[in-house]
Amino acid sequence: MTACAIENGTAGATGAAGDDLPDGPDGPAAPLGAPPVAPAFTIAADGSYAARLALADVAAEASDEGGGAWFVERWTLDGPEPYAVPLPLDQPEEPDSEVLPLADGRVLIRRRVADRHTVSLLYPTGPGTGELPLGAVACPDLTLLPPSPDGVSAYALSAGAHSTCVWQVAGGAFGPEPVAEVPGHCSGGVWLDRAGRMLALDREMPGGGPVKAVAVDLERGGEVTPLLQIAPDSNDRLLLADPGSGLLLLRSDAPGHDRLGWGVLGSCLPVRFPECLRPADVAVTPFAVQPGQVLTPESCAVALRIDGAAGSWVGVWRPAGRRLHQFAAPEGWRAGRGVWARDGVLRLPYADGNVACGVALLEAPVDDGPRVPASAGAGTESGMQPSGVAAPLAVCKPVPLGQAPLTGRMTPG
């Protein structure tokens, strides 16, 4: 693993600038199957920028007791060296605010103000910070979705008693506006295409029942179609998707308990639950998929966060392989955050006591052993069946992605 870093000497970024939100994803891992926690460190869909809430020291003479003040910090990740730009305003931010970087370098922030949520765009203006208010949403809870692939839009979820509203909070013509109303309680959020039209949500219907991932078409009034239906009573959540290759990473209790599995968008092959993705006494969570592997999902490198008693470290795995490679994480890693380059290099952002903005580089390892073409029969050992021991799901359906409103992609095998 190699690293490149640049010290952040900008005023206002001193002190505990490497700290993240308390109880966020840099803390202990969430229980298996729990809804994902809103990230304290968010990377733009194209990997160009990242944003977080950082903590700066406040001089004792500036307040009665001194202490810390939260402010927005933007990281530039796609240049020759990473660097951070603080975006403080006259008033510190609340620690429960959410931030999301756009592809043009502006940072969207969601703040709770009494019984509503305000949304603004922050951007550097010479020595200061500019702010463009976008509007407000009146609802009890509003959670930002992952960055849209189009780089200019931003969306959020507001879950009610019987339905969940998808709001477009940036990129629209008139400020925040509802774009879809989905029956049931929805969480998660994974983009299925590069245009920011097809959104996968994990939904529980009113009255209870299993959680199932569904596809929501934001350009057709929120039309909902099934996405994951592994077993009738199983909880099937989508964690990651790569639009280019069609690779899906999911979590399901269809094998009898929560397991990580993988499938292919539009494929007729069953979901696989590799044994190597269930090491003892740790929690494994995927966070990034290598892009650029068009129509070859089994060759995509997947980055995983591994949480155990000793802390958090990095795993790398490919569907075509039978091995989970494990690596020590850089000190101060923004755990569970990173982005793949097309050439198979994983970029891991970190901030420690000496470096306030750094990126460690990890090359994807090569799996040992010969590769068998994915076109081999579904009942044989192949790149589409990497675990060696397939989960006994004879009565379960494969991922019924042919029912989802995504077509025009060849199906491996």
CA 137, chain centre distance (Å): 23
396 compared with 231, residue with greater pLDDT: 231
Most confident of 17-21, 47-51, 341-345: 47-51
Contact by Cβ (8 Å): 267, 250: no
**Alpha carbon 237 to its chain's center:** 13
Using an 8 Å Cβ cutoff, are 266 and 277 in contact? Answer: no
- Residues of the chain by 3-state class (helix, strand, coil), percent to 5: 5, 40, 55
What pLDDT does 173 receive? 87
C-alpha pair distances (Å), 136 with each of 129, 144, 177, 280: 20, 13, 9, 46
pLDDT surpasses 50 at 69: yes
Nearest to residue 47, comparing CAs of 72, 14, 77, 5? 77
Return the minimum-mean-pLDDT range out of 52-61, 283-292, 297-306. Answer: 52-61
Give the single-character DSSP code of 336. Answer: T
What span, in angstroms and rounded, lies between the C-alpha atoms of 80 and 287? Answer: 24
Task: Yes or no: say if 291 and 278 are a contact pair by the CB < 8 Å rule.
Answer: no
pLDDT, mean of residues 343-351 = 95
- Cα separation, 304 vs 228, in Å, equals 21
Q: What are phi and psi of 83, to 5 degrees?
A: -150, 155
Residue 56 has pLDDT above 90, yes or no: no
> First-to-last CA distance in the chain?
35
Give the whole-angstrom CA distance, residue 265 versus residue 214: 13
What average pLDDT does the segment 297-317 reach?
A: 96
- List Cα–Cα distances, 135 to 102, 279, 390, in angstroms: 17, 46, 50
Contact call for residues 73 and 17 (beta carbons, < 8 A) = yes
The residues pairing with 299 across neighbouring beta strands, listed in sequence order, are none
pLDDT digits (tens, 9 = 90+) for 99-147: 999 999 999 999 999 999 999 999 999 889 999 999 999 999 999 999 9
Amino acid making up residue 298: E
Task: Look at the block and give the residue holding tokens 């993705």.
Answer: 277
CB 107 within 8 A of CB 122: yes
Q: Which residues pair with 185 in a beta bridge?
A: 204
Between CA 324 and CA 26 the distance in angstroms is 22
| pLDDT, position 9 | 36
Residue 306 CA to residue 329 CA, distance in Å, equals 10
- Model confidence at 371: pLDDT above 60: no
Mean pLDDT of 221-234: 95
Q: Is the pLDDT at 185 greater than 60, yes or no? A: yes
Cα-based angle 408, 45, 22 (whole degrees, multiple of 5): 135
| pLDDT score recorded for residue 268 | 85
Q: Is the pLDDT of residue 177 over 60?
A: yes
Hey, CA dihedral for 248, 251, 256, 257, is it positive or negative?
Answer: positive
How far from chain centre, in Å, is Cα 27?
Answer: 16
Q: Which residues of 345-359 are buried (b: 16+ CB within 10 A; e: fewer)?
A: ebbbbbbeeebbbbb
Residues of the chain with pLDDT > 70, as a percent, come to 77
pLDDT band at residue 48, thresholds of 50, 70 and 90?
very high
- Report the pLDDT value the prediction gives residue 51, as an integer from 0 to 100: 98
What is the rounded average pLDDT of the residues 344-350? 96
The answer to whether residues 319 and 325 touch, using CB atoms and an 8 Å cutoff, is no
3-state SS string for 302-329: EEEEEEECCEEEEEEECCCCCCCEEECC
